[in-house]
Amino acid sequence: MADTAKKQRVDQAGSGVPGISVQEAMPTYYAKLFPTQHMVKWLAYGNDSKHAQADSHFFNRREFCFTLQGDIFVRYQAFKDGAALQEAIMRRCPDKIDIGPVYSANPMDRHKFGAAFHPVERELVFDIDLTDYDDVRTCGSGGHICAKCWPLMSVAVKIIDKGLREEFGFKHILWVYSGRRGIHCWVCDPSARQLTDEQRSAVASWFAVYKGHEEGKARVALLGGTMHPAVERAAGILRSAWEQTLLPAQRLLEDGPQCEALLRYLPEEGLVETVRKKWTEASRSRNAGNTDVNVVRWRALEEAVAERVREERSKKGGLNYKVLGPLERCVDEIIMAHAYPRLDMEVSKKMNHLLKAPFCVHPKTGKVCVPLDPKAVDAFDPVDGVPTVTSLLGELAAAKEAAEGGKPNPEAWRDTAMADAVSVFESCLLDGLAASNKEELTGRTRVAVAVGQMNVDF
């Protein structure tokens, strides 16, 4: 029996097809809009070419998992090429498509190989979900997402993307909006795809500054008096977003439980009382309408902490680092505890972990899982700026009607918002991968020549 959520009517802003459900729209979406060939071009990594060193069996060793109506999971699906993948998608019309690793053999033949069947490569992936920020969000919880909490995802993209590029040297990184309340990251460099489970865990742990909650506070790893340069860089990104966007949007310093929770990060009870007094003074003197109360109170807190640090440093008899350290760290600790990326670590640790494919349609929202440009992530609108399956079908119908002679255009998707999503996919991943794939195949050729398997003049 169909899930009632999948039968909900999705007709955002009047742009969809009135009266059609997400489930009813999926056959047309897969037939006319889902960019199967772009997906194959990505996941084949040049092995679909006629290059002498291309592995013609590479793509059909990739696992796909279909989630069918009724939450039926069909794992270990594999396909010879894009045509076979498209045919299976059309025939089974999955609610969701997950992508797994490339195995040592065709996943559908796994029972023939026993213990010899194992994953050999897979993109390094990250998953960040807004539900993990429910202790921070005041605008909503659970599946809620809006312009007020999107900045939490925006800063996560900036921090993780910059870290992957500058600390690890990765270049081919794809960010995808999950269709509801989160984001996914796919790192596609050859060196990333070949990481072992232990190495994946190590990379993910590098970003795991956030350590969960304990005694009503989020724990963050800010040990010592000097932060690691990568953590300091992340803190710099967060400091700006914190005051300009996050504090006003989430109203964390207005009277209430969020305000009290934030004060727990101050290391001294006397400092807490000082901050409370400054807040009272600041509220009285604030020129209403000019500065948000959350920002006013935050600046008062920073001032109180700075005064206490100066007081401690001026004491005779040497510095007490047991007191000074927590004082100097507490402001950044507050920011990091509330806004540093909160990763689902288990997704990143294992090569054989499944992750939802880009361009899937979320069954509860009808939204397409569209790629994100990390350089424009602040401007991304997860509420009204994401195409739905029904809005796309409406655009298809309009394009067909406008076509000369009423003849259907085989590439009518280019007249819909899907064209923009595919363009981001190309510019942020596929275009850069083309040169990398060619370089990888050339490297295989050089190895073959070196071991005497080929005679080639370079």
Please give the mean pLDDT across all residues of the chain: 89
Whether residue 188 contacts residue 172, with contact meaning beta carbons closer than 8 Å, is answered with yes
Q: How would you label 238-263 residue by residue, b for 16+ Cβ within 10 Å and e otherwise?
A: beebbbebbbbbbbbbeeeebeebbb
348-to-127, 176, 352 alpha-carbon distances in Å: 8, 15, 10
3-state helix, strand, coil in the chain (%, to 5): 50, 15, 35
Domains in the chain: boundaries: 4-206+343-450, 210-339
pLDDT value of position 52: 82
Catalytic residue among 48, 95, 98, 129: 129
Question: Which stretches of 242-344 are DSSP H helices?
Answer: 247-250, 257-263, 269-285, 293-313, 321-339
Instruction: Give the mean model confidence (pLDDT) for residues 274-295.
Output: 79
What share of the chain has pLDDT > 70, as a percent? 90
pLDDT one-digit tens code per residue, 157-197: 999 999 999 999 999 999 999 999 999 999 999 999 999 99
Asked if pLDDT for residue 237 goes beyond 50, the answer is yes
Say what the pTM is: 0.90
DSSP state of 408: P
Catalytic residue among 48, 98, 123, 127: 127
- Cα–Cα distance measured from residue 312 to residue 330, given in angstroms and rounded to the nearest whole number: 15
92-to-27, 41, 74, 78 alpha-carbon distances in Å: 9, 22, 10, 14
Whether residue 283 contacts residue 296, with contact meaning beta carbons closer than 8 Å, is answered with yes
CATH value of 4-206+343-450 in 3.40.50.2300, 3.90.920.10, 3.40.50.300, 3.40.50.1360: 3.90.920.10
Catalytic residue among 63, 123, 395, 426: 63
Residue 63 is a catalytic residue = yes
Which residues make Cβ contacts (< 8 Å) with residue 113, sequence separation at least 6? 104, 105
Structural element, H or E, at residue 160: helix 150-166
Three-state secondary-structure class, residue 175: strand
For residues 49 and 163, which has the higher predicted lDDT (pLDDT)? 163
pLDDT one-digit tens code per residue, 363-374: 999 999 999 999
